[in-house]
Each structure stands twice: as structure tokens, then as C-alpha cells.
Amino acid sequence: MHCVCVLQEPRHRASPIRIVRLYPHLTTEQRKMIEDAGFGGLLKIGCPTFPLGFCGWLLRQFETNHCELVIKGRGRIPVTSDSVHRILGIPNGGSDIKYGLDVDAIAFMSDKLGASDKYWPTVSSIENSLKQMKSADEHFLRTFMVLVISSFLCPTTSLRISPRCFPALVDIGSIRELNWCKFVVDQLRKSISSYGRKSSVPGCLFYLVILYLDSLDTHDTQIPDGTPRVSAWNKKLVNQVIQMDMKNNGSFGKCLFKKRVDNINSSGASSASAILGGIPEISDFVSANVAAGYSAQKKELLSNAVGKLCASITNALSKFMHEVSALDGSSGEASRDRSSAPVENNDVNNVDENDSRDEEEVLLEDSSELPTEDMKDTSANEYENESSMDGGSTDNDSEDDPD
């Protein structure tokens, strides 16, 4: 088993704040174009930033051989394409994405962006350009995707956009047919594997944060339902649950993983599965164990069957334990305990709409909420010197120069 075991905190540019800051500038037609391309989930992000110290701990729990988060004494969380889709709502399925330097793609994108292959535009200049656009055409969508990839799905350590994303954007009308969820997992796994040799992690850490938080049993703290899951988590809720998960020594992993009662099929039949959890956990389990190339439709059917099997086993175990406990004369008490169990209430307030602020803002609005020094949100600080560095990247680790 290969786990990431380094003490340094990662440098990253994985905050979705650049996407969130576009929200008030997008026209109705532009939003529809993004949704039609399969990326509407990225228009529903509720938390624009996240704490770096927490990310460092989370990365150290990533087991790269099996692509899982392994939390000691708690369990495993598979990092899969299906969970990326559930959390971000981006296309899942289709052809693999070519991510690399391609001469023809570079020439094509140089013309479309009006840029030189010696000095690619900075990420900030792409963001500013999008804020000024009012048309909903291929140029807008292609520019939007450059920002999404370079600042969020696969951010690099460079201040400039990465030409490695260009091959996937030449035929912009077909981006919905590409497997962006698999791309996120592959790039994240690759970057975490090299974490230690480099201090940077050019991957979608935001997905990893929401995946973990969404797997925790938060007791009386209500988490909104619905997908994509990024719409359920606002800044206040992220802070609150991270604080709940913090141990006395300042580390994390205090909360248990949740076990849910979910609908097993569309007909409305439902049962509790104490074996794999609810529908999301079962889907992740199936995805991690079926053969490569197994279609999404077949995985859904198999997930339903596995869910029913788990529910049957759970019910049989429950009946067995009830009968065994009755032999000791304790069935009456057990029955009372079950009948008095509280029913989970999933009604919650909507995500805050005031999270699109200046990038200098840190995640913590009240330092008393998360008292440790390493919990400061430094994802915003990654850009603080950007305006003075537009002449070129200063990152020695950058692999994105086309030369």
C-alpha cells in the first residue's frame, strides 16, 4: 500500500474562486451553453475557497495504489469517476482526454486566443477576458474551458494557462463526449503520487475535500440533499464540519463515516444497508470492482441489484440479532430503542449566495471557529503576486512550457 507520507503543506491553485467570480457576469445564454456542454454543475459551487492545512492532512490519507482515501480507524473512501460526477456534475463517460503538448493543437489555440506559444496568457487575464464577453459562441465556451481546466480541474503551479489542455478543446462541440470525471481522477492520482518529490499538487483538491466531508456522519448538522454535491456545501458548512472532524491534537479524522437509509430503486422500495451504506457508496463500490469499460447503464443496474442484496442481508442480520437478544429477555428494551430513534430531517437552508468575493479573502470569517494556525485558507494567496509576474512563470516545477 502506497500512502502519501510527507509533512510539508502543498502549494496549489485548486480553488474554484475564479469560476465563482464569473457568476454575476454570465448571461443567460452563456449559462445555457455551459449547461448544454455538460458543465452546469460548475455554476452551482457554494464554497469558493478551502483551508490549506486540511488539504495537507487529506492528501496524506490518499492511498495511490487503490486510489482511495484511507482514514485509520474509520474506513476507506474510493476516489472514482462516478463520485467526481456526483460531486462536480461534469461529463462522465466517453473517450479519454488527451492531455499533453500537441503541435497542431497549440497552433490552433494560438490563433483562437490571439496568443504566442512563447507567452501564454495568465489565468487572471483569461478570467478578466471572460468577464467582458457577452456572446455565447464557441470562442466563449473554449475560453471558459481553458479557465476551468487551468484553474480548477487540473491546475498547474504556473501563473499561465497550460497548453496541455488544448487538444481536448479543438473540437469544442464534442467536449460533452469526453470523460472529464476520469480525467480528474487520473490527474489527481498522478499528482499525489509525486507529492513529496514536489511541494505542489496540480490536481482538483476541491473535489477531494467535498468527497471526504460528504462521507462524514455529521449528527445533528443537516447537509442539503441533491446533486451536484458542490451545491450543498457553502463556506460556513465546510468550516463547521471541518471543526467537528478536528481532534484535540489539531489533526483530523474524528468523525465516523455515515450510514444512510436511501431509496434502492426507482419504485420507492427502501432499506437500510449497514454493509456498504447508501446509493452513493454502493455506486462507488461497483465502479471500483467492475471490469474496465463497463457501461454506466450496466453499472446502475448492478448497483440496484447490489443494493437490494445488501438490504436483504442487513434485514436478516437485524432479525437474527433481535431474536438472539430476545433469548436474554432484552427484546422489549431493544424494541423501545428502535421505536424512539430520531428520524433524520434533511430540510436545510439553501447555499449562501455571498461567497463570490475578492480572492484575497480567507475561508475563515471568524478565527475562533478553527483556532489552529495551519487551518488558514491560503488558496487565495496563490494569486497575490500575480499582477507583477505576468512576464512569465516563476515556478521551477512547471511542466507546461511547450518548448
Spell out the residues 6+ positions from residue 130 whose beta carbon is closer than 8 angstroms to its own. 22, 25, 140, 143, 144, 147
Spell out the residues 6+ positions from residue 301 whose beta carbon is closer than 8 angstroms to its own. none
Residue 17 phi/psi, 5-degree rounding, is -60, -35
pLDDT at 276: 63
Residue 319 phi/psi, 5-degree rounding, is -65, -40
pLDDT at 333: 37
pLDDT at 262: 36
3-state secondary structure of 133: coil
Q: How many CB atoms lie within 10 A of CB 298?
A: 11
pTM for the complete prediction? 0.67
pLDDT in tens, the chain (403 residues): 444 444 344 444 568 999 999 999 999 999 999 999 999 999 999 999 877 779 889 989 999 889 999 998 889 999 999 999 999 999 999 999 999 999 999 999 999 998 876 789 999 999 999 999 999 999 999 999 999 999 999 987 788 999 999 999 999 999 999 999 999 999 999 988 876 555 566 689 999 999 999 999 998 899 999 999 999 999 999 999 999 999 999 999 999 998 743 333 333 333 334 566 566 667 777 877 888 778 877 887 888 788 778 767 866 776 676 677 667 554 443 333 333 333 333 333 333 434 433 333 333 333 333 334 444 444 444 444 443 333 344 444 444 443 3
pLDDT at 383: 40
Cβ atoms of residues 237 and 350 within 8 Å: no
pLDDT at 299: 80
What distances in angstroms separate CA 221 from CA 54, 59, 206, 241, 284, one per listed residue?
20, 25, 21, 8, 24
Interior/surface letters 133-149, b for 16+ CB within 10 angstroms, e for the rest: beebeeebbbbbbbbbb
What distances in angstroms separate CA 369 from CA 179, 242, 246, 286, 365, one per listed residue?
39, 10, 11, 38, 8
pLDDT at 199: 54
- Rounded (10°) angle between helices 296-327 and 331-339: 140
